[in-house]
Amino acid sequence: MIKLGIIGGTGYTGVELLRLLTQHPEANVQVITSRTEAGKPVSELFPNLRGHLDLKFVEPTPDAYRDCDLVFFATPNTTAMSQAEALLAAGIRVIDLAADFRIKDVAVWEQWYGATHACPALLEDAVYGLPELNREAIRNARLVANPGCYPTSVILALLPLLKNDMIEPGSIIADCKSGTSGAGRKASVGTAFCEVTESVKAYGVDGHRHLPEIREILRGVDAAADLVFTPHLMPMIRGIHATVYADSRGPAERVQSVFEEFYRDEPFVDVMPAGSHPETRSVRGANLCRLAVHFLEAADKYVVLSVEDNLVKGAAGQAIQNMNLMFGLDETAGLQPPGMMP
């Protein structure tokens, strides 16, 4: 049994980790910390877990995690970077679900996150935890940077095209729609029910932190890659729908089979039949990115539709997938259940 710690598990990523891990056959949450909720039973904050988890939040003291094999950071950005080093030194592996280790270029990270990076030396070690791109490196990683929700959906949509040299790498537009859980569990007017429901809006059109993350990863595949990225807030809890446009380069007839072959052995990427339009609800609660690729002949462009549950394949589920790889378990352990529909 792998012994797990969760730091800062009072948000939506935290409760989703816990929900999934209660069903994991070979991992067990030993400790979960929260400064604000220390002493409170986890199931009091998250009543869906009543009867499933007999843990209380504890103070995040240095030795709270000493018996853990792995610690998940489900904290706000800039927390993990100040604590990861000590954990790693103690032989505890780390998966950060926030953004501290996602971008290798420290200057870029510091510009977008408005902070000085606390442990730039660790960045080289950190593995970007997208198994479809970095599976072997993840198996051996001590420190995994779990990808952002938007980046997961956009990068998976583009990998087959970029790796097969089928698009103009600088022509990408990713128009993305996200459920509100992506904004986290917090008290704010902007995420209040009456402000969000029955409305749609774009945000961060002039720059969103997931843009440099996507760009860096894509440039690792094709140095000329660049994109416009526009996030939108949707009146729903879970789900990301990325609509990704790119100019075609070369013949497009084979695109459907290129996608199918590229993801043939991937347990958590599903390429739909030609002509499909995936719905975000079809992956609700499931660790899955579902793709459909369209070629628009008149415009000579590809449109890739990519859906995921931002809390699962876009966060907690992918973190568990990474954990499975790091510990040599079946990659799908604890992640098999289908989405919930309706």
Residue holding tokens 């568990």?
A: 320
**Binds a second copy by CB under 8 A, chosen from 28, 203, 224, 330:** 203
Nearer CB in complex with a second copy: 255/326:
255
- What is the Cα–Cα distance from 65 to 68, expressed in whole angstroms? 5
Residue 102 and residue 128 in contact, taking contact as beta carbons nearer than 8 Å: yes
Region at 114 (left for phi over 0; alpha for psi -120 to 50; beta for the rest): left
Name the minimum Å distance from CB 313 to a second copy.
14
Helix (H, G, I), strand (E, B) or coil at 2: strand
Name the minimum Å distance from CB 2 to a second copy.
20
Nearer CB in complex with a second copy: 83/324:
324
DSSP 340: P
| Distances from the Cα of 177 to the Cα of 30, 186, 238, 336, angstroms | 35, 20, 10, 25
Nearer CB in complex with a second copy: 7/196:
196
Structure tokens at 254: 């084979």
Residue 316 and residue 17 in contact, taking contact as beta carbons nearer than 8 Å: yes
Nearer CB in complex with a second copy: 46/101:
46
Nearer CB in complex with a second copy: 120/267:
267
Amino acid at 12: Y
Binding part of the chain for a second copy, among 54-62, 112-120, 134-142, 269-277 by CB under 8 A, reads 269-277
> Scanning residues 171 to 200, which ones bind a second copy (CB under 8 A)?
173, 175, 177, 179-181, 185-189, 191-200
Half-sphere exposure of 60 (CA within 13 A, CB side): 21
| Distances from the Cα of 69 to the Cα of 30, 82, 328, angstroms | 10, 19, 13
Catalytic residue check, 149:
yes
Name the minimum Å distance from CB 188 to a second copy.
5
Name the minimum Å distance from CB 299 to a second copy.
5
> Scanning residues 304 to 333, which ones bind a second copy (CB under 8 A)?
305, 307
Question: In DSSP terms, which residues pair with 95 in a beta bridge?
Answer: 72, 144
Per-position x/- string for 37-76, each x denoting binding to a second copy as judged by CB under 8 A, each - no binding:
---------xxxxxxx------------------------
How many residues of this chain bind a second copy (CB under 8 A)?
80
- What is the Cα–Cα distance from 75 to 101, expressed in whole angstroms? 13
Name the minimum Å distance from CB 101 to a second copy.
25
Residue 168 and residue 246 in contact, taking contact as beta carbons nearer than 8 Å: yes
Task: Tell whether omega for the bond before 147 is within 30 degrees of 0, i.e. cis.
Answer: no
> Scanning residues 5 to 44, which ones bind a second copy (CB under 8 A)?
12, 15, 19, 22-23
Name the minimum Å distance from CB 175 to a second copy.
4
> Scanning residues 272 to 291, which ones bind a second copy (CB under 8 A)?
272, 275, 277-286, 290
- What is the per-residue DSSP string for 95-137? EESSSTTT-S-HHHHHHHHTS--S-GGGGTT-EE--HHHHHHH
Binding part of the chain for a second copy, among 73-81, 134-142, 151-159, 302-310 by CB under 8 A, reads 302-310
Handedness of CA 294, 295, 298, 300 (dihedral sign): positive
Name the minimum Å distance from CB 146 to a second copy.
19
Nearer CB in complex with a second copy: 44/165:
44
Per-position x/- string for 116-155, each x denoting binding to a second copy as judged by CB under 8 A, each - no binding:
----------------------------------------
Nearer CB in complex with a second copy: 79/230:
230
One of 149, 176, 194, 289 is an active-site residue; which one? 149
> Scanning residues 208 to 247, which ones bind a second copy (CB under 8 A)?
226, 228, 230, 232, 234-239, 241, 243, 245
Residue holding tokens 């103070």?
A: 59
Residues annotated as part of the active site: 149
